[in-house]
Structure 1
Amino acid sequence: MIPWKHLDTSTVPGGGELRLMQRGAEFSIMLGRIELMNSRLSGSEEALATLTRQRIGERRRPRILIGGLGMGFTLRAALACFAADAEIVVSELVPAVVAWARGPMAAIFGNCLDDPRVRIEEVDVGTVIRSGRRFDAILLDVDNGPEGLTRPSNDRLYDLEGLAAARAALAPSGVLAVWSQGPDPKFGQRLVRSGFIVDEVRVRANKGRSGARHVIWFASRSRTPVPPPKPRPAAARR
């Protein structure tokens, strides 16, 4: 078997290190001993884009925000399914990931980074969400799920305040799509509490009929948020 080769290491702002590994034509991005992504497994990341496109339908000049460049699977799927007048903003916090896309993994990315519909912003996606811009869809794949595995501050994307910011950044009938390596019932509950109609979908990691399934939440901005419960008066507490 061909051994893995360590190509590069980059520090994640806020803590942690990403390592780019290669074995033949296969690439892997690691956080410590945890594999965040592999070039052989693209099915669920592509579904993040294609299933979002199905949900928002045909729109004139749709504006899409992708949180996390990764290995470009979601971006390439978005370019394939969205029209020529789409605007696709990709927010990637780690500059080295963009450099890897243009360097060692250039064969995987092809010319997608140079597509006129694409703009790469090397900034935290939470900053883009709070920038005042509106998006028809926000696609988040910045961690292994709604927990701050890569960096603890990612939790702010998925708590009630972060979800409220995402909802405010969506155009009418917009969709928030969140990728996860596995289920998270509490996150689904937070989405509902934040005023979303939620559809939880499980998709294959490898596009085949077997193997691991990942989870994507599709949250539609279509209802009034549920207000937090009021604290009970001290006299009523037991």
Structure 2
Amino acid sequence: MPDDAVELIGEAELPDGGRLQLWRRGEDYSIRFGDNELMGNQVRHSEEALATLACGRLQHRDSRILIGGLGMGFTLGAALRSLSSTGAITVAELVPEIVTWANGPLSHLFHDYLSDSRVMVEMADVHDVIARERSEFDAILLDVDNGPDGLIHLANERLYCNWGLRAAHAALRPKGILAVWSAYADDAFVSRLENAHFDVEEVSVAALVDGEDVIHTIWLASKQECCD
């Protein structure tokens, strides 16, 4: 097969319709939803920054972290590098095929992350994990859509609405951080975070996507201690 040939190597049906596709061209891999590239191994800086920025603001390196979505492992890897040996990470992944890809065609990107004793992968909707917990996590890292909307999984709208953000606030420990990755800015989402009793810091991260300079947005929302 020529190095520039594009090959479909995996598909995954989503719970509410549509499918994810894993494509390969030479050494490049891409997870796509329709015409949207959700993640590629050539663009990882902002996904890693989601973890390093959040972890750098935590009180202790041995924190408990929840990551929404396994992706290509970039956020997980950065979180592991930021935590001590006594830290703990739960990854909530909704799509079983993502885990299969992580242990198969994408295993070179995941290194030994999934066998790390600090990591537990739970096959669940991250919203459900958040909703059942109270004062459990020091950080919640969300990179499950292209921004604060339900592009990939319509039920993800629950994560970004007013009551979904209040659930995240309740699931965090004092001074915990909700970190959200986005391909675009969203002033209305910032307002919802503030109304849910978060102090919000917005960070712009430069990225190169398909040869074009773009800006990704990461919101670091710190839990106010006034209420749950």
Q: Please list the CA deviations of residues 146-191 of structure 1 after superposition, one character each: whole Å capped at 9, or x if unmatched.
A: 0110021110100001000000000001000000011011000100
Report the residue type matching 1:172 in the other structure. P
Partner of 1:203: 205
Partner of 1:87: 88
Q: Secondary structure at the match of 2:132?
A: coil
Partner of 2:36: 34
Partner of 1:218: 220
Selected match of 2:57 from 55, 58, 66: 55
TM value normalised by structure 1: 0.90
Q: Please list the CA deviations of residues 35-82 of structure 1 after superposition, one character each: whole Å capped at 9, or x if unmatched.
A: 1111100000000000011111325x4100000100000000001111
Partner of 2:170: 168
How many aligned residue pairs are there?
A: 223
Contact 1:196/1:223 (<8 A) preserved: no
**Counterpart Cα distance in 1 of 2:25 and 2:115:** 27
Selected match of 1:185 from 184, 187, 197: 187
**Counterpart Cα distance in 2 of 1:205 and 1:54:** 21
Identity of paired residues, percent? Answer: 49
Contact 2:47/2:181 (<8 A) preserved: yes
Unmatched runs of 5 consecutive residues or more in structure 1: 226-238
**Counterpart Cα distance in 1 of 2:207 and 2:82:** 19
Partner of 1:121: 122
Q: Secondary structure at the match of 2:22?
A: strand
**Counterpart Cα distance in 2 of 1:21 and 1:212:** 22
**Which structure: greater strand fraction?**
2
Report the residue type matching 1:158 in the other structure. Y
Contact 1:197/1:223 (<8 A) preserved: no
Q: Aligned-pair distance for 1:224?
A: 3.8
Unmatched runs of 5 consecutive residues or more in structure 2: none
**Counterpart Cα distance in 2 of 1:129 and 1:150:** 19
Partner of 1:103: 104
Q: Aligned-pair distance for 1:211?
A: 2.1
Q: Aligned-pair distance for 1:124?
A: 0.2
**Counterpart Cα distance in 1 of 2:109 and 2:27:** 9
Q: Which has the larger radius of gyration?
A: 1
Report the residue type matching 1:77 in the other structure. A
**Counterpart Cα distance in 2 of 1:179 and 1:76:** 16
Contact 1:42/1:206 (<8 A) preserved: no
Q: Aligned-pair distance for 1:203?
A: 0.7
TM value normalised by structure 2: 0.94
**Counterpart Cα distance in 2 of 1:205 and 1:41:** 7
Contact 1:43/1:206 (<8 A) preserved: no
Contact 1:41/1:205 (<8 A) preserved: yes
Partner of 1:235: none
Q: Secondary structure at the match of 2:24?
A: strand
**Counterpart Cα distance in 1 of 2:151 and 2:84:** 34
Q: Aligned-pair distance for 1:19?
A: 0.2
Q: Secondary structure at the match of 2:51?
A: helix
Q: Aligned-pair distance for 1:83?
A: 0.7
Report the residue type matching 2:13 in the other structure. T
Q: Aligned-pair distance for 1:131?
A: 1.8
**Counterpart Cα distance in 2 of 1:223 and 1:185:** 23
Partner of 2:140: 138
